[in-house]
Structure formats: structure tokens, C-alpha cells
Chains A and B, each alone.
Chain A
């Protein structure tokens, strides 16, 4: 109960801060509109207002504060505007509609899941190779690390162009970018996890004359499960980012990334923010789902609740 109060307090503080930030962010637009509508504003001309600080404008025109939260195209939309937009574009729109966020989220989600599957599979395979072969450890690991130092925003257009030139388009290029971001945490986590068994446990298997594959399936893989799930949670969030980034340079017409792009073309800040929130909610749901699967798997493996 006490923690609930604390959580709600933090949430309320964030929302309050957000509302407060809307006032100086939007005041110039509100005053410009009011001037055109014939209201009395201080100072009276847009040119004079441009030279003043936002805080000063708010102090001089306190009547306009309420207006900063209800503009059509605010620089920073207020929380309730985003909430209303989210509600209208999810619950009140048909899923088949091009304006439905659920439709766009599902487009991004399918690329995310495909990329996540590819990335996880690749990550596990690489980790198995790295743990069992010293040559792979020395040759693959540095490249895996280097791959993550290149900004994905720079790499994504090239991936799309290259794949397009060999005739691959649609969901695959987005999934590839997703996979590119998500394989890395899986590699790192699984290498650590597969190496988790201590010398004594490896000696024990040696006394049974167990072969490498028995050692893998009976000891290394089960030992790595907690590490795997930690990696998967990072990986799935990275996958979603990858899928959204993959939608930006193509001028895609569908997907959360396309929604962000369209919003910024037309100055629809409310649309941008609601797409951002949709992405965040989607990521949170995916991570929570993985957490649930983790709980089920680990409890079947006898881990104390």
C-alpha cells in the first residue's frame, strides 16, 4: 500500500512537470493565434515577442495559460491530448483503418518478432560457437562488439538499399535491422551463461566420461537460462527500436515508424507523441510477456519463488 502511494506520487509529479512544461513551450503559438483573433497581447507584435523569453511571455499574458494545453498543433502536447489521441486511434478506430494505431503497431510488431527470432537464434548459435571454439571466441566476439558501435540510424538505410538491390523488400529488411540490434545482448548473455558452470561441475561430468554435447544439454544450457532471459528482455526492446528505425528511411506507409514520420511531416505533434507512447507500451508488454515466460520456465526448473 505504501509503495503504491509512492509510485502514484512519482507518476503525478511527472505529469505535473509535463503540464508545467507545456506552458512555456506553447505560449508563443497561443499568443500568435490570440493576436490574429483580435485579443490583446503583450507585447503586441510577433516580432517583439520573438525577442522575449517564454517565461516572460507567460508572466505578461497569464490569461493564455489554459490555452497552452488545448492547442491543435502544440509544440509539446499536454498529457490528456496524447491520451485522447491514443484512445481515439486504438479503441475507436477499426483495426483495418489506416489511422488505427493497432494496425500500425501490428505491422511493426510482426517485423519486431521476426527480427527478434532471427537475432535470438543467431545470438545463441554464435554463443555456442564462441564457448566451444577458441578460434571463434577470438574471431567473432570482436566483430560482434564492433557491430554495435555503428549507429543503427546510419546503417539502416544502407541495409535497406542493399537488400532492395537484390530484390528483398517488405518485412525482411526491417526484421534484419531488428535482428542486428537484438543478437548482441543474446550473444553476450549466453556466452556468460554457458560459461557459468564452475570447474567442479565440469570435473563431475568428466568423471562420468560425458561428451561435449551431453555437457551442453545437461549442464551448460540449463545453467544459462537465467542469463538467457535477462538477454531476451534487452533483445526484444532493441528489436522494437530496430523495426521502428527500419521504417524511417523507406518512407514506409505503415508501422509505428511511419506514423512518427508522417506526424513530423505534417507537424502533428500529438500523433508523434501517441505513436511514441504506443511503441513504449508495446515494448513494455513484450518485456512483461518475457518476464512471465521466464517465471514459468524457472519455476519448472525448481527455482525458489
Chain B
């Protein structure tokens, strides 16, 4: 059992100064973002540096206001940083967005109520101009991937919240984005459904080999899913700690009772507490 935290940690400064490896998918250097609001400027991100490699499952965890969602939105080019540099697949985030480099899953499933599940999954495919036959093929593929085969003809309101969220993940997987960005996708679901979806998500990740950015505020969820856990702290939003998980890739649910899991969870909790102590 590895009890030495130093070997698990990559300090953000150290990560930023090293040359980018060839499989580096997302790289942020000294990223800054200040929102101008009516109550004055809000420093949402300060000096954020991070590298995400291909095939990583990276969780962003921290209290609200720590900038974890904002950072994810920066990667997706839904927000524009005010300082520093950010590259996605070697391009600017906006170029990456235009190249449809990522699929984004929001906290709410956001399915169109007037479209069936199949038609909802087809939405990005229609927009991107896939042929009808290709659309059908892909819908069936991703429905099978999220274990919703047979539900394609249903309308969203006929599905449970967990199934709706799976459908929205299927929608994000339907086109060939290498990156999957997920903003608290299971935040509104109950514990049991959440466990089940976490398990499914790991399987899906193993099968598709995507790079996943995952925002959460659940410690067990972050530790269970991730290869890399980014602990953030608020006011201004910044990275407090980056933990490389020592857990094996194969993770049954009961791995959460292993001392290794508890050790990592403990370190995340310590990081969150220390980050909170700053203000």
C-alpha cells in the first residue's frame, strides 16, 4: 500500500513548467478570468495551470465559487479567459469548439421535450450534417452504450431522471468528440442512481477511451471515477492540489472501502479544508 502522498502529487507549477508531452490534450497556463459584474469585478479563476493527457479522467472538486465549472466552460469556449493561455487539442478553445472537439453534458439533462430520445440524440448529428443512415447507426450505438436500447421512441418525460441524464450523455457521445466535458451531471440524482451511473460511466470510459473532464462536489464520486483529482479553492478560484490516483483502472464499487481509496479521499478532504481556511 502506498502511503506517500508526495509521489501522488503533481504540483500545478511543476506541471506547467515541464514541456508538453505529445499526448497532452488540454493545457492551461496561468489562466485568469475576471467577470465584470454590477457589484464590481469577480475573480473567478486565478493563475490556473493544468495539463490533461489523452485518456485521463479528471475530476474538478471544490466548494461553490471555486471556479470548477468556469474552468470547464473555458475549455468548452463558453467563457473567454481574460489572461493566460489555454489550448485544446493544440488549438484555441474556440477553434476546438468549431471542430467539435468535445461533447458537453450539463447538470440538467436538457433534452428537448418535443423530441423523442432518438431524435434528441440525433440533434447534434443533424446539425453536423451526418447522413440519415449514419444518424440511425450512431443513435443505436450510443443508446446501447448507455444501456437505453429500446427507449429511443420514448419522450423525455416518460423516463426517470437518471435515464434522462444517460440519454444526455448518449447525445454528447453521438459524434466523435475525443473529449467529454461533464458539469455535475449526476448532481441532481439520488445516491443509489448516482452509484449506478458512476459504475456505468467508468465502463463507458474504458470502452471509448475518451478524455473526460468531470465537475463534482462529491468526494467519493471524484475519487471513485478519476485518474486525476483537481482540488480547487474559492475567492479567487484556483487550483489547490492535483492528486494522481493510485487506484487501478478496474474499479468495482466496493473499492470504495479499500484503505487506498480512503487515503485518497482523506487527502481530497484535507485539501478542501485547507482551501477553505484561506478566507
Contact of A204 among B106, B114, B155 (CB under 8 A): B106
Chain A, interface residues (CB within 8 Å), range: 10 to 19
Q: Could you list 24 A-B pairs, sorted by A, with CB under 8 Å?
A: A200-B108, A201-B110, A204-B110, A205-B127, A206-B77, A206-B78, A207-B76, A207-B104, A208-B123, A208-B127, A209-B97, A209-B100, A214-B127, A218-B127, A222-B112, A225-B114, A301-B113, A301-B114, A302-B114, A302-B115, A302-B155, A302-B156, A302-B157, A303-B113
User: How far is A201 from B126 in the complex, measured between Cα atoms in Å?
Assistant: 16
Contact of B114 among A203, A208, A214, A222 (CB under 8 A): A222
| Docked complex: A210-229 residues within 8 A CB-CB of B | 210, 214, 218-219, 222, 225
Residue on A nearest B102 in the bound complex, by CB: A207
A218 touches B114 (CB 8 A): no
Cβ–Cβ < 8 Å partners of B62 in chain A: none
Cβ–Cβ < 8 Å partners of B100 in chain A: 208-209
B106 touches A200 (CB 8 A): yes
Cβ of B152 < 8 Å from any Cβ of A? no
Cβ of A134 < 8 Å from any Cβ of B? no
A208 touches B78 (CB 8 A): no
Chain A 171-213 against B: per-residue CB contact (8 Å), 1 yes, 0 no? 0000000000000000000000000000011011111111000
Interface of A is mostly: helix
A residues in contact (CB < 8 Å) with B? 200-201, 203-210, 214, 218-219, 222, 225, 301-304
A303 touches B106 (CB 8 A): no
Cβ of B124 < 8 Å from any Cβ of A? yes
A204 touches B104 (CB 8 A): yes
Cβ of B116 < 8 Å from any Cβ of A? yes
User: How far is A302 from B159 in the complex, measured between Cα atoms in Å?
Assistant: 13
A207 touches B112 (CB 8 A): no
B residues in contact (CB < 8 Å) with A? 76-78, 97-98, 100, 102-104, 106, 108, 110, 112-116, 123-124, 126-128, 155-157
Residue on B nearest A206 in the bound complex, by CB: B78
User: How far is A204 from B78 in the complex, measured between Cα atoms in Å?
Assistant: 10
| A201, A207, A225, A301: residue with the most chain B Cβ atoms closer than 10 Å | A207
| B98, B103, B113, B114: residue with the most chain A Cβ atoms closer than 10 Å | B114
A218 touches B126 (CB 8 A): yes
* Contacts known (A200-B108, A203-B78, A204-B110); A210 close to B116, Cβ less than 8 A: no
User: How far is A304 from B154 in the complex, measured between Cα atoms in Å?
Assistant: 12
Given A209-B127, A302-B116, list of 9 further CB < 8 A pairs? A200-B108, A204-B110, A206-B77, A206-B78, A207-B76, A208-B100, A208-B124, A209-B98, A218-B126
Chain B nearest CB from A114 CB (Å) reads 30
Chain B nearest CB from A190 CB (Å) reads 17
B103 touches A304 (CB 8 A): no
Residue on B nearest A300 in the bound complex, by CB: B114
| A203, A222, A303, A304: residue with the most chain B Cβ atoms closer than 10 Å | A203
Chain B nearest CB from A225 CB (Å) reads 8
Chain A nearest CB from B71 CB (Å) reads 15
Cβ–Cβ < 8 Å partners of A225 in chain B: 114
| A201, A302, A304: residue with the most chain B Cβ atoms closer than 10 Å | A302
| A209, A219, A301, A304: residue with the most chain B Cβ atoms closer than 10 Å | A209
Residue on B nearest A301 in the bound complex, by CB: B114
* Contacts known (A302-B115, A302-B155); A207 close to B110, Cβ less than 8 A: no
A207 touches B97 (CB 8 A): yes
Contact of B103 among A201, A207, A301, A303 (CB under 8 A): A207
B114 touches A206 (CB 8 A): no
Cβ–Cβ < 8 Å partners of A205 in chain B: 127
Cβ–Cβ < 8 Å partners of A218 in chain B: 123, 126-127
User: How far is A225 from B97 in the complex, measured between Cα atoms in Å?
Assistant: 30
